[in-house]
Structure 1
Amino acid sequence: MTFSATDAAFEGFRVVRRHPLAVVFWAALHLVFLAAFFGVFGSDLASFMAATETLQGTDPTPVELESLSPTLLGLFALAAPAGLLLGAILNAAVARAVVRQKDKAFGYLRLGADELRVLAVTVVMFIVFGVGTMVAFTLVGVCAGLAAAANAGLGWLVGIVLGLGAVAAVVWMMVRLSLAVPVTIAERRISLFDSFALTKGHALSLLGMAVIAFIMTFLVGMLMTVVALPLTMTTGGLEQLAALDGASTLDILRAAGPAIAVYVVVNAVVSALQQAVLYAPFSAAYLGLKGLPQEG
């Protein structure tokens, strides 16, 4: 099979052109998630924004910074699992839009075995990248420390060289595992090692494709932000939440409803577009390297 990195990098735009209604479904799913987030955490978010605004322009003490931790950790602890599930559903939908284009009902969205498999793959890769990064930079720190004991300049040199090497190793690992989700959707099975086999000899091409896709994702976000700027300015933005510290979620919605609505809708559309632009290229790369999956 043939694989063109530059051609695959723009697959997300082709997905949107082939089935624009899919973006509507993806944005709607983001809307549901964000609306639920504000409904559950609106009061905590207002308190956090008020606290951070109070600390702006000052030199906060460790105690003041520590006071923000419970709210921030609480938001993260509850939002992270929901975010992982949302990501799995949307990543599966984007991959399905490329490798199983006939399954386009409901914007390729499903909630079934494929999504559970993608969720499992995502969690495993998150652990692998996290542990691998921690081990790599721990070794860098140890080696740099040993070198610095003999000579400070040598320690800096060793730290920089090995640090760059560690970054390269982590990026290499990410590239080699980058086709795990397309493989999982196309072949309806959990697989990490198949990605290693498929990407062998194509790491640099895939990296270049990923860089192009990332730049396109950034440009889409910038463009949508500019388009939505008049609406954001008209409603006052989310900065007004800081003045609602201690208010109930219902009171927050009454006072800042238009600003929250604009924020939620704009972010839903932007996130849906960015999801397609960033992740569809990897499924296109899978097709280029492996070919169409057997329907079953």
Structure 2
Amino acid sequence: MTEFSASDAALEGFHLIRRRWRVVLGWAGFTLLALVMIVVLSAVLSVVASAVGGGGDAARNPALGVAGVIVLCSFLFTQAILVAGVFRLEMRPEEPAFMHLRLGRDELRLLLVWLITITGAWVLGWLAAVIGHALGAGGVGLELLAAVLAIYLGLRFALAAPISFAERRIDFLRSWRLTRGRVLSLLGMSALSLCLILLVTLTVFVALVLVALGFGGLDGLSGVFGGSEALQSHPGIFLLAFVIQIVLAPVVWTLGMAPVAAAYRAFADGDGPKTEPA
């Protein structure tokens, strides 16, 4: 088994961006295209659902609820394509794909893994809320315990996503086996990765605020925080903030998912299918 370093794994996203920065930058174009398609899909489904259900909100019009689920799944699927691109760069860089992005079974498996994970987390939260409500004041401690349990289970099943890509199967039990005795290492890796992502995001945000202040003074901040109406008052700052968000999205996914792929390679070495980094 390859020796695993939580700090080295947490930095794998930076190494990947350094090696393939053109590819990661190109993913911003896919992010923009996906955003446009989702906005159009949401608008079309909203009109259709309102016509079918007679208007109203989601509680009174089930068609709007169904439309919302479709839009959510579409959003998750576009993110799964990006994550599969990160995994492909890390584990199968020679595989034919446009900018290492494809639309196929790998991406569908990732989507299913996420849906199963989200459903499991929702069920766990619902049970904690129901039991906590039944126990009254003692339920606060139970909800805290449920949060700790959710983090533990999340770490034990953290490798389900790279397993679904590398081994082409959904196997949560294999993730459970591979992470046995390595929860603290994964916790350290995840915490460091999260801190690095927050640091990058905060740095970009502060730089954007300084630019807005430099070009528009305090009123220029409305171009960053003002929402869509800021497009009229400060179009340049608004468009700059929008472009930065589009570019930052694949960077954040790379910083978050590359460490998981590195952990899988380290734990699976000698215990299953082997993959090589880019």
Aligned to 1:269: 247
Cα deviation, residue 257, structure 1: 6.1
Q: Distance in 1 between matches of 2:183 and 2:222?
A: 46
Deviations 1:258-282 (A, max 9, x none): 5653343211111111111111111
Cα deviation, residue 254, structure 1: 8.1
- What SS does the aligned partner of 1:107 have? coil
Which residue identity is paired with 1:101? P
Shifted more, 232-241 versus 158-167: the winner is 232-241
Residue identity over aligned pairs, in percent, reads 31
Deviations 1:152-192 (A, max 9, x none): xxxx3x33332221111111111111001111111112221
Q: Indicate yes or no: 2:151 matched with 1:166.
A: no
Q: Distance in 2 between matches of 1:120 and 1:74?
A: 18
Deviations 1:39-93 (A, max 9, x none): 6669xxxxxxxxxxxxxxxxxxxxxxx99999x9799555412211112111111
Aligned to 1:282: 260
Distance change >3 Å, CA 205–CA 13, structure 1 → 2: same
Q: Indicate yes or no: 2:169 matched with 1:189.
A: yes
State TM-score, norm by structure 1.
0.73
Aligned to 2:206: 226
2:118 is matched with which residue: 109, 120, 126? 126
Which residue identity is paired with 2:25? V
Aligned runs of 1:16-95 on 2, under 5 Å?
16-37=17-38, 76-77=68-69, 79-95=71-87
| 8 Å CA contact retained: 1:238, 1:259 | no
Cα deviation, residue 14, structure 1: 1.0
Which residue identity is paired with 2:112? A
Deviations 1:234-288 (A, max 9, x none): 8834626358xxxxxxxxx888865653343211111111111111111100011
Cα deviation, residue 136, structure 1: 2.6
Which residue identity is paired with 1:200? R
Q: Indicate yes or no: 2:100 matched with 1:108.
A: yes
RMSD, aligned CA: 3.5
Which residue identity is paired with 2:182? H
Q: Distance in 2 between matches of 1:256 and 1:74?
A: 37
| 8 Å CA contact retained: 2:124, 2:150 | yes
Distance change >3 Å, CA 133–CA 258, structure 1 → 2: same
Cα deviation, residue 225, structure 1: 1.7
Aligned length: 254
Distance change >3 Å, CA 104–CA 213, structure 1 → 2: farther
Aligned to 1:206: 186
Q: Distance in 1 between matches of 2:151 and 2:163?
A: 20
Shifted more, 181-190 versus 223-232: the winner is 223-232
Aligned to 2:157: 177
Deviations 1:215-242 (A, max 9, x none): 1111111112223332694883462635
Q: Distance in 1 between matches of 2:67 and 2:225?
A: 17
Q: Distance in 1 between matches of 2:253 and 2:194?
A: 10
1:236 is matched with which residue: 223, 227, 230? 223
Which residue identity is paired with 1:124? I
Aligned to 1:136: 128
Cα deviation, residue 119, structure 1: 1.0
State TM-score, norm by structure 2.
0.78
Aligned to 1:4: 5
Task: Mark the structure with the bigger radius of gyration.
Answer: 1
| 8 Å CA contact retained: 2:208, 2:241 | no
Q: Distance in 1 between matches of 2:130 and 2:222?
A: 47
Bigger relative contact order (CA 8 A; separation at least 6): 1
- What SS does the aligned partner of 1:163 have? helix
Which residue identity is paired with 1:88? A
Mark the runs of 5 or more structure 2 residues left unpaired by the alignment. Answer: 44-55
Mark the runs of 5 or more structure 1 residues left unpaired by the alignment. Answer: 43-65, 146-155, 244-252
Q: Indicate yes or no: 2:91 matched with 1:99.
A: yes
Q: Distance in 1 between matches of 2:116 and 2:199?
A: 30
Which residue identity is paired with 2:21? P
